[in-house]
Amino acid sequence: MSEQVISEAARRRTFAIISHPDAGKTTLTEKFLLYAGAITAGGAVKAHEGRRAATSDWMDMEQKRGISITSTALNFAYRDHELNLLDTPGHRDFSEDTYRVLAAVDAVVMVLDSAKGIEPQTLKLFEVCRSRHLPVITFLNKFDRPGMDPLELLDQIEEQIDLRPTPATWPVGTHGDLRGVVDRRSDVFTRYTRTARGAQIAPEEDVPAERAAAEEGAAWDQAAEQIELLTAMEADVDLPSFLAGESTPVFAGSALTNFGVRHLLDAVVDLAPAPTPRDDRNGKPRHLDEPCSAFVFKVQANMDRNHRDRIAFARICSGRFDRGMVMTCARTAKPFATKYASTVFGAERTTIDEAFPGDVVGLVNATGLNIGDSLYDENGAKVEFPSIPQFAPEVFATAHPVDTGKSKQFRKGLDQLDEEGVVQVLRDPDWGDASPVLAAVGQLQFDVFANRLDIEFNAPIELSSAPYQAIRLTDSTSADVLREKPGVRILSRQDGALVALFENKYALQRIEQNEPELVLDHIIAG
């Protein structure tokens, strides 16, 4: 059994694609599925209309905005490997969801729009990758259109995110007329032919250098010159520094026309790491062949309104998962029956019977499981993985039900969405649910919260922004002192921790300076 686990884990690649909105993450996801044979024509996943038919009502907002709020895990086979692609929400606004997803992957594909280079959202996401030491493969997308000089894009990567770019493939084509890519590792030039709207795999032909020079003319000369420069700079793909998060293999192409996509997908298999033992809370590695263990990185309720249920998405860290096995939740010590385990492909569910390290299982009816919970085989030793980092909230709001007759639904919704981590609900011990303060990393979390309370709990709310500028963790002794100060409010979190909210961050600074004995801890991200 342990040999099977080790060999199955070695076939897994669990990764996410990160990008600034519109750089092409959705298109690339779809093209990966096309090249892996998981879909037969481009257009199936990308079509926002298609998603509308398949997903629940609360995603109406997602449709209107044309953004992806829900994270799904796609599992597909490619070259005798099992790829798990975890979707990160692709909106401009910040969301804690993304961080949680990045806690569950082993590598990341970073997509850059080659006309725009590094954009703000990419920078922010990249910081998270760095803090988790995630290896990053870079895809320079949209070379079918005129864009920046690829050498300039490499400079940006090096300067702005401090990763040493090592081009694996290089574009051949001038002024947006992309002909194909050269694989610098083999010196093979692959020339592609476009298909209508890139709906099908692009026919490709490997062309020897001499013929390429004759047939591609100036485009070839330019690429050859740049490649020579890269070789002189020794900017070659280097596995150890990639795995250490110091260098990034760079691929070029066009997700829309499929040029260069196969090279990139091959790199996910050939370069990205297979699951490795994950450290538990005490820093002790949980070996892949130890009994089954997993941790929950996402909880979502009411994904499908016909089912009205709650799914916890768990990443398997060790052992073999068999549907029906009983797992213990480390936090509550309660057993959890896994009779209903599924994979979720888009909005479709398929029952999953077995899973291995790196896989994601959707545990249906997961009442009692929270984000960050560790699960372990009831017959094995207890294991607790480090909690998923909580990010310091940056925006605050208050919420009231529009219809006071709906306060029961409102309370139920608050509890549910707090547990799911959609927002953090902070309560005043004296006021209870009457006037909670909502805290989030980005404004969008509030919009999702309000939308879901309305649609799923039939409790429309009024949101007003709350005037707080900073938040700190505190204890009950310090809370008693802080409570007396103007512009400070003491509230409690779902986990019982006390937090202090400050209307003025300079007032906070003064308190920190003048009264160092008070407990005012940062909520640490990372």
Contact positions toward ligand G4P, by CB under 6 A? 19, 21-27, 46, 90, 141-142, 144-145, 254-256
- Which residue, 182 or 255, is less far from ligand G4P as judged by CB? 255
Q: Which residue in 171, 182, 160, 202 sits closest to 42, CA to CA?
A: 202
- Which residue, 46 or 81, is less far from ligand G4P as judged by CB? 46
For residues 11 and 455, give the distance between their C-alpha atoms in angstroms, rounded to a whole number: 41
Q: Enumerate residues 6+ apart whose C-beta is below 8 A from 410.
A: 401, 433, 453, 457, 459, 461
- Which residue, 26 or 328, is less far from ligand G4P as judged by CB? 26
Tell me the closest approach of the beta carbon of residue 30 to ligand G4P, in angstroms.
8
End-to-end CA distance of the chain: 35
Range list of β-strands (E), 168-209:
169-174, 177-183, 188-192, 204-207
Tokens for 500, please give them: 């202090």
- Which residue, 136 or 439, is less far from ligand G4P as judged by CB? 136
209-216 and 218-232 helices cross at what angle (nearest 10)?
130
Phi and psi dihedrals of 83, rounded to 5?
-105, 135
Tell me the closest approach of the beta carbon of residue 32 to ligand G4P, in angstroms.
12
Tell me the closest approach of the beta carbon of residue 143 to ligand G4P, in angstroms.
7
Tell me the closest approach of the beta carbon of residue 139 to ligand G4P, in angstroms.
10
For residues 127 and 133, give the distance between their C-alpha atoms in angstroms, rounded to a whole number: 10
- Which residue, 8 or 113, is less far from ligand G4P as judged by CB? 113
| Geometric angle at alpha carbon 210, from 204 and 216, rounded to 5° | 60
- Which residue, 24 or 249, is less far from ligand G4P as judged by CB? 24
Tell me the closest approach of the beta carbon of residue 163 to ligand G4P, in angstroms.
20
Tokens for 16, please give them: 């996410």
| DSSP H or E stretch at residue 152 | helix 150-161
Tell me the closest approach of the beta carbon of residue 248 to ligand G4P, in angstroms.
18
Tell me the closest approach of the beta carbon of residue 172 to ligand G4P, in angstroms.
15
Contact at 8 Å (CB) between 136 and 110?
Answer: yes
Torsional class of 79: left (φ above 0), alpha (ψ -120 to 50), beta (otherwise)? left
Tell me the closest approach of the beta carbon of residue 134 to ligand G4P, in angstroms.
19
Contact at 8 Å (CB) between 318 and 291?
Answer: yes
Give 392: exposed, middle or buried? Use CB within 10 Å, 0-12, 13-18, 19+. middle
Tell me the closest approach of the beta carbon of residue 91 to ligand G4P, in angstroms.
9
- Which residue, 256 or 438, is less far from ligand G4P as judged by CB? 256
For residues 143 and 160, give the distance between their C-alpha atoms in angstroms, rounded to a whole number: 21
Tokens for 315, please give them: 């990443």
- Which residue, 87 or 419, is less far from ligand G4P as judged by CB? 87
Phi and psi dihedrals of 166, rounded to 5?
-125, 95
- Which residue, 27 or 390, is less far from ligand G4P as judged by CB? 27
